[in-house]
């Protein structure tokens, strides 16, 4: 029988158990991004945890970011160990989660699996957000030199100098976004300490000495459950100041990053885009991207 317990903080033993569970899930699902010897992923850090155990085994975990997204909606992640799925543990975790947080809650379902849809429907959760994953093979693409608007120049990011300029543009470009719009200079500085961070793949567009856009790329190590087990570049974030939108700058920045990733020898590039952002999806399709999978957020009726 499964035992459920809420925890505000995790000691070293529980942290190791959660990390091991997430690592096992990544081997099957391709997510989350977790280092078997590193800290828990950001979406599983802080907040509250609901732990499901059978005997001495951790069979499932829910993480709740009780502080909420940029609009104050609580966001949860629910993961069941691959060896213990289809045993009712996901349903038990979902029921306990909604008993504790019956309102103002969104729950991620990565991969849009039918089982997650059935579970959401059973609990009256609404499909509120689709995050589309798109993919392109660099060998199939022919990206030209970026065509920058008149008076705009391109350079790479300088750590210790450019953080606030990027954060300011980001805040204006993504004021509508539940996660990205909340980026702070401290968040950016913390990311610079991550192993994957490379300022050579972080492009800034300037006009008259002012940053008006950026393209931040990322490189993922091989993932056995995703993208054929090969490394993948990512169009991580493209942000254009609203005052500079509509003139082709976003496309130029995107192409600059794509060419950089291809020149690094990466055979494929991915990106995440809101499923209802038809103009952006159309731009990426014209650059050769095709849909790969969908991540979904299910929400209580008041958090849709």
Annotated binding-site residue numbers for acetyl-CoA: 78-80, 238-240, 245-251
Q: Among residues 287, 303, 291, which one has the least CA distance to residue 144?
A: 287
Q: In what order do the strands lie in the sheet with 268-274?
A: 3-7, 48-54, 57-65, 74-80, 105-110, 290-299, 126-137, 268-274, 232-240, 210-220, 202-207, 152-156
Which residues have CB under 8 Å from 140's CB, separation 6+? 288
User: Cis bond leading into 32, ω under 30°?
Assistant: yes
254/231 Cα distance (integer angstroms): 19
Runs of H (alpha helix) within 87-207: 89-100, 114-122, 163-173, 185-192
166/214 Cα distance (integer angstroms): 7
- Secondary structure tally for the chain: helices H, strands E: 7, 12
Pairing of strands 210-220, 202-207: antiparallel
The secondary structure of the chain in percent helix, strand, coil, rounded to multiples of 5, reads 35, 30, 35
Pairing of strands 232-240, 202-207: unpaired
Could you give the angle at the alpha carbon of 201 between the alpha carbons of 131 and 162, nearest 5°?
95
Annotated binding-site residue numbers: 78-80, 179, 218, 234, 238-240, 245-251, 272
Tokens 């003139």 -> residue: 247
């Amino acid at each position: 029988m499964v035992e459920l317990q809420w925890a505000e903080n995790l000691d070293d033993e529980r942290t190791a158990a959660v990390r091991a569970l997430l690592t096992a899930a990544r081997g099957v699902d391709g997510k989350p991004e977790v280092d078997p010897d590193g800290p828990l992923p950001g979406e599983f850090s802080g907040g509250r945890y609901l732990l499901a155990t059978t005997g001495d085994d951790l069979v499932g975990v829910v993480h709740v970011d009780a502080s909420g997204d940029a609009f104050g909606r609580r966001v949860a992640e629910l993961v069941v160990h691959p060896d213990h799925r289809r045993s009712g543990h996901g349903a038990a975790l979902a029921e306990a989660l909604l008993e504790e947080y019956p309102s103002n809650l969104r729950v991620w379902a990565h991969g849009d699996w039918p089982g997650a849809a059935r579970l959401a429907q059973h609990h009256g959760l609404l499909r509120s957000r689709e995050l589309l994953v798109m993919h392109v093979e660099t060998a199939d693409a022919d990206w030209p030199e970026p065509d920058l608007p008149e008076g705009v120049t391109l350079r790479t990011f300088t750590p210790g100098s450019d953080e606030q300029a990027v954060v300011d543009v980001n805040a204006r470009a993504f004021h509508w976004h539940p996660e990205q719009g909340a980026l702070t200079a401290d968040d950016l500085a913390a990311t610079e300490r991550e192993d994957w961070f490379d300022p050579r793949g972080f492009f800034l567009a300037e006009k008259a000495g002012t940053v008006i856009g950026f393209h931040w790329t990322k490189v993922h190590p091989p993932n056995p459950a995703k993208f054929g087990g090969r490394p993948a570049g990512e169009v991580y974030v493209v942000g254009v100041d609203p005052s500079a939108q509509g003139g082709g700058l976003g496309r130029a920045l995107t192409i600059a990053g794509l060419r950089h990733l291809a020149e690094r020898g990466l055979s494929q590039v991915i990106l995440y885009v809101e499923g209802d952002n038809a103009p952006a999806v159309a731009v990426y399709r014209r650059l050769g991207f095709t849909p790969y999978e969908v991540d979904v957020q299910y929400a209580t009726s008041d958090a849709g």
